Structure 1
Amino acid sequence: MRTLVHLSDLHFGRVDPELLEPLRVLVHQVAPDVVVVSGDLTQRAKSEEFEEARAFLDSLPGPQIVVPGNHDISLYNVLRRFLAPLDRYRRYITDDLSPVFIDNEIAVLGVNTARSLTFKDGRVNEEQVEQIRKHLAGLPKALTRIIVTHHPFDLPQGFDDDDLVDRAPMAMQVFAESGVDVLMAGHLHASHSGNTSDRYAMSEYAALVIQAGTATSTRGRGETNSFNVVRIDADKVEVDRYGWDVIGKAYSLVSTEKFLRCGNIWAAHNDGLMAAGI
């Protein structure tokens, strides 16, 4: 079994500072095999915000798979936005925009969906998708294959389709051919787990979608600060959602969802939805 901590939308520049140390301590207690951060490390892509984000990442265990979000591209500096959109991200966070972690149980691939030509939308292109295909080709079938992006390939109820990553159907076709199991994303500041069967009618294929809320930002959009702990076996995934307890001043387990794989289809386990402390 492998354990992943899934953080997203940290938004340094708009963080609630009292959350940082409890989050850091709990992540170390979980002792993940990989820490995943699915974008928006900063609020306005300023150097000081990236410095704070870098210091926080350095306080967490590794290895880490980190991808940028739309907020990690300068918004108001037009020259920087179009001529060097991820220069500061590369300088302070990582120069690798397609990070990869592979061991004998999981393959985790990060994909940059942030683009300078749009303020908040994201996109994947054919070159990126082909790179994913090449990375996954020839890997043992037993490996659980995980794609990490900032912008999501599927949405919880109540969200507009404009929030989907552009060219998603093209990418989903390759994901199906490559046996991608799990799609992890952020962007919405909303927690959600489900599969892709309703949105993408693909024969004998449905990937598991895991959406993380904002772990530390003051921009909660109606949901408490949260993050996911994802436990992965060959044919089973458990998603623990931890939410911030404003009274206890700590993150606590809010819910656990279980998903099982049958062939290339992931689906919720009927007895797998449990609530803790509710």
Structure 2
Amino acid sequence: MSVVLQVSDTHFGTERPVAMAALQALCAQLRPDLLLATGDITQRARHDEFARARAFFDSLGVPAQRVLPGNHDIPLFDLVARAFRPHARYLQAFGPALEGEFSNDALLVLTLNTTRRYRHSRGEVSAAQIEAVAQRVAAAAPGQLRLVAVHQPVAVTLAADRGHLLRGHEAAVRRWAEAGVDAVLGGHIHLPYVLPLRQRWPALPRPVWAVQGGTALSHRLRGGLSNSVNVIRAQRSAVVERWDLDEAAGQFRCVASTVIR
């Protein structure tokens, strides 16, 4: 079995020590194969925030990391850096690339940079990115769980969040479904949920799921929810577990489980 730990919207600069300690304990318990961070690693893309994020992620002792940038990971107030070197600080901490891949016998995980310097928060997936993912997924090994990670969501549960949808999401979901993607993972809106995308697009040629991460470590919580992370277990079947922080116990606890394959 392979285990992926998805953390999102850590917003280093606003991190909570109780959540950090609980996540270290959870990693020691689960021993995941991959740490997948789906964006907004920092609060203001400062050097010290990226340094703290990298040090903490390394402290978890997970054999592999795939960390993708979010809109908070490009400078907001430094307009020169935003215009000409928007990802320089991210690359210094997590370089050398903005996108990546993780593959083993059970898993194929592709991470896409959907953050654009010319958009404040709403991201975008290009036609070239959509096709490159489709081609790679179509070439995946038989039996691999095929996951694509972006920052902004491809499906939302609240009307108020429609403005945060990833630009190009419908074309991406349709093409990726044709290629064989099982789930699209995201963050950005600080709400954890797992949705079957055939509810949105009944004509999809296969089941595809939206897996959204909540607020992993930050005090920037939403909707009365606690900090949360997702755990994805892949073998012949695949399950997404949501783990919420129990503050009184100082531990993450599994509160929901969804079979996605």
Q: Identify the TM-score tier after normalising by the shorter chain.
A: over 0.9
**Alpha-carbon distance in structure 2 between the residues aligned to 1:158 and 1:232:** 32
Q: Is the 8 A contact 1:106 1:143 kept in 2?
A: yes
Aligned to 1:121, the other structure's residue is in SS state coil
Change (3 A) 1:137 1:253: closer
Q: Which residue of 1 aligns with 2:211?
A: 210
**Alpha-carbon distance in structure 2 between the residues aligned to 1:102 and 1:210:** 19
Q: Which residue of 2 aligns with 1:185?
A: 186
One-letter identity of the residue aligned with 1:15: E
One-letter identity of the residue aligned with 2:251: A
Corresponding residue pairs, total: 259
TM superposition score normalised by structure 1: 0.88
Q: Which residue of 2 aligns with 1:232?
A: 234
**Alpha-carbon distance in structure 2 between the residues aligned to 1:172 and 1:241:** 23
**Alpha-carbon distance in structure 2 between the residues aligned to 1:255 and 1:160:** 23
Aligned to 2:198, the other structure's residue is in SS state coil
**Alpha-carbon distance in structure 2 between the residues aligned to 1:259 and 1:143:** 13
CA-to-aligned-CA distance 1:71-128 (integer Å, 9 cap, x gap): 0010111111111111100011222211101112211000011111111111111121
Aligned to 1:156, the other structure's residue is in SS state coil
Q: Which residue of 1 aligns with 2:34?
A: 34
Q: Which residue of 1 aligns with 2:59?
A: 59
**Alpha-carbon distance in structure 2 between the residues aligned to 1:44 and 1:25:** 27
Cα offset for 1:135?
2.0
Q: Which residue of 1 aligns with 2:19?
A: 19
Q: Is the 8 A contact 1:89 1:95 kept in 2?
A: no
**Alpha-carbon distance in structure 1 between the residues aligned to 2:116 and 2:202:** 28
Q: Is the 8 A contact 2:12 2:41 kept in 1?
A: yes
**Alpha-carbon distance in structure 1 between the residues aligned to 2:91 and 2:148:** 20
Cα offset for 1:214?
0.8
Q: Is the 8 A contact 1:188 1:213 kept in 2?
A: yes
Q: Is the 8 A contact 2:22 2:252 kept in 1?
A: yes
Change (3 A) 1:153 1:203: closer
One-letter identity of the residue aligned with 2:55: A
One-letter identity of the residue aligned with 1:5: L
TM superposition score normalised by structure 2: 0.94
Q: Which residue of 2 aligns with 1:274?
A: none
One-letter identity of the residue aligned with 1:229: V
Aligned to 1:227, the other structure's residue is in SS state strand
**Alpha-carbon distance in structure 1 between the residues aligned to 2:257 and 2:173:** 26
**Alpha-carbon distance in structure 1 between the residues aligned to 2:205 and 2:166:** 23
Cα offset for 1:159?
4.1
Q: Which residue of 2 aligns with 1:266?
A: none
Cα offset for 1:201?
3.5
Structure 1 unaligned spans of 5+: 261-278
One-letter identity of the residue aligned with 1:48: D
Q: Which residue of 2 aligns with 1:271?
A: none
CA-to-aligned-CA distance 1:229-269 (integer Å, 9 cap, x gap): 111233x3222211111222222222222334xxxxxxxxx
Which is bigger in relative contact order (C-alpha 8 A, separation at least 6)? 2
Change (3 A) 1:251 1:117: same
Cα offset for 1:134?
3.0
Q: Is the 8 A contact 2:152 2:187 kept in 1?
A: yes
Aligned to 1:160, the other structure's residue is in SS state helix
Structure 2 unaligned spans of 5+: none
CA-to-aligned-CA distance 1:136-195 (integer Å, 9 cap, x gap): 233233221100111111112454321110011221232022100111111111110121
One-letter identity of the residue aligned with 2:117: S
Alpha carbon RMSD of aligned pairs, Å? 1.5
CA-to-aligned-CA distance 1:25-45 (integer Å, 9 cap, x gap): 211211112111101110000
